Amino acid sequence: MANVSETGMLDPRIFEDLQRKIDDDAETRDQLRAILQTIERQGRQTQSILSRAHSTPAAHLQPVLAAAEASIKEQVESIGKLSEIASKGPYYKYNGLWTRDVQNVIFAILLCGWLGGLAMEGEGEGKAAEAGKLLTIEEVGQILNVPVNLKDRDAFHITIEEYLQSLITLIEELARLAINSVTLGDYQRPLQISQFVKDVHAGFQILNLKNDSLRRRSDSIKYNVKKIEDVVYDLSLRNLVPRP
């Protein structure tokens, strides 16, 4: 048979080349997976630290934020390594491998930023930044030290879709925080969350989403908006917050 194929229909090099392509591909994937495993573990660590925000009054949040910032810093380093390996191949070829982990990192940054951590340059580092702010995709890129929304070249970056996905996760988390703030006796924060989430929701409403995962998840925002509104309603009904 081997003889036939040498003189016959197909050049054996064709399939040798194909095999090489497949093997190279597998190797790149293995490299990416190795680094992603680290990012995933660090991500869990960061989430666990940020979770303490649900049981910590806003006034005592500083140590939590400091710990979260340190943990995020570690992730930034890993993302740098990921970016290095990922930029060797076409971005969208392997994007599916890391997008979930990258979304988690972005979410951690957004949440930490919202809680008042991760003061951007110019705001005076070390001092607690104001809570309730939304880090833009550019600021997230700056923190992660990677480009965002690249169009002119093929390299690792953060996409708009990833940022929006993380933003939806942030809304879900804030809905939970609204309830837990009340438990902590903080009746102001739900109002702040309510306004913030409504503003973000209004933003999502002007997007023309197709029937993709982003649309399906953004459909859930309204339930979270309602959940938070219910908290505000409960509080105002009992005169626990000043009437607007």
Partner 1 sequence: MGEPSDDRPSPDSNLNGAKSNSKPGFKRKYENGPRDDKAKKPRRDVEASSSPFMPMFENFRDELDEHHDRRERVIKASRDITAASKKIIFALQRVRKLNSEIPESIAGEVLGRSKGMKAQFDTIAPDLTGLNAWRYQRQISGGIQEYMEAVSFEHYLRNQRLIPLEESSRLLPETIPLTGDDYVLGIFDLVGELMRFAITTIATTGSLPSSSPSETDENTVGSRDVLQDLRSLRASFQALDTTSCGGTGLGKDVEKKMEVMKACVEKVETAVYGLIVRGRERPKGWVPDLLDDRAPVTVESY
Segment near partner 1 (CB under 8 A); pick from 1-9, 46-54, 70-78, 174-182 = 1-9
Spell out the SS3 assignment of 130-186.
CCCCCCCHHHHHHHHCCCECCCCCCCCCECHHHHHHHHHHHHHHHHHHHHHHHHCCC
Tell me how far apart the alpha carbons of residues 18 and 16 are, in angstroms, rounded to a whole number.
5
DSSP state of 90: -
C-beta separation of 27 from 53 below 8 A:
no
200 contacts partner 1 (rule: CB under 8 A): yes
In this complex, which beta carbon is closest to partner 1, that of residue 23 or of residue 123? 23
End-to-end CA distance of the chain: 85
Select the span of 20-28, 73-81, 221-229, 235-243 touching partner 1 (CB under 8 A).
Answer: 20-28
**Footprint on residues 134-193 left by partner 1 (CB under 8 A):** 134, 136-137, 149-154, 160-161, 164
Of the candidate residues 5, 55, 62, 188, the single one contacting partner 1 (CB under 8 A) = 5
Choose which of 60, 202, 219, 233 interacts with partner 1 (CB under 8 A). 202
* Stretch of 43-51, 180-188, 198-206, 228-236 contacting partner 1, by CB under 8 A: 198-206
**158: three-class secondary structure by DSSP:** strand
Is 130 near partner 1 (CB under 8 A)? no
Q: 243 in helix, strand or coil?
A: coil
- Per-residue mark of binding to partner 1, 86-105 (x: CB under 8 A): ----xxxx------------
Q: Residue 3 corresponds to which tokens in the numbers above?
A: 């003889």
Least Å from the CB of residue 48 to partner 1:
28
Q: Does 23 bind partner 1 (CB under 8 A)?
A: yes
Give the residue with the Cβ less far from partner 1, 164 or 191: 164
Query: Considering only CA atoms, which of 65, 55, 71, 67 is closest in space to residue 177?
Result: 55
**Which one among 4, 59, 122, 238 touches partner 1, defined by CB under 8 A?**
4
- Buried b / exposed e over 130-164, threshold 16 CB at 10 Å, is ebebebebebbbebbebebeeeeeeebbbbeebbb
Q: Does 34 bind partner 1 (CB under 8 A)?
A: no
Rounded to the nearest 10°, the torsion over CA 25, 26, 31, 36 is 100
Is the Cβ of residue 58 or residue 150 nearer to partner 1 in the bound state? 150
11 scored as a contact of partner 1 (CB under 8 A): yes
Residue 154 contacts residue 143 (beta carbons within 8 Å) = no
Note the residues at the interface with partner 1 (CB under 8 A).
1, 4-5, 7-15, 17-19, 21-23, 25-26, 29, 90-93, 134, 136-137, 149-154, 160-161, 164, 198-200, 202-210
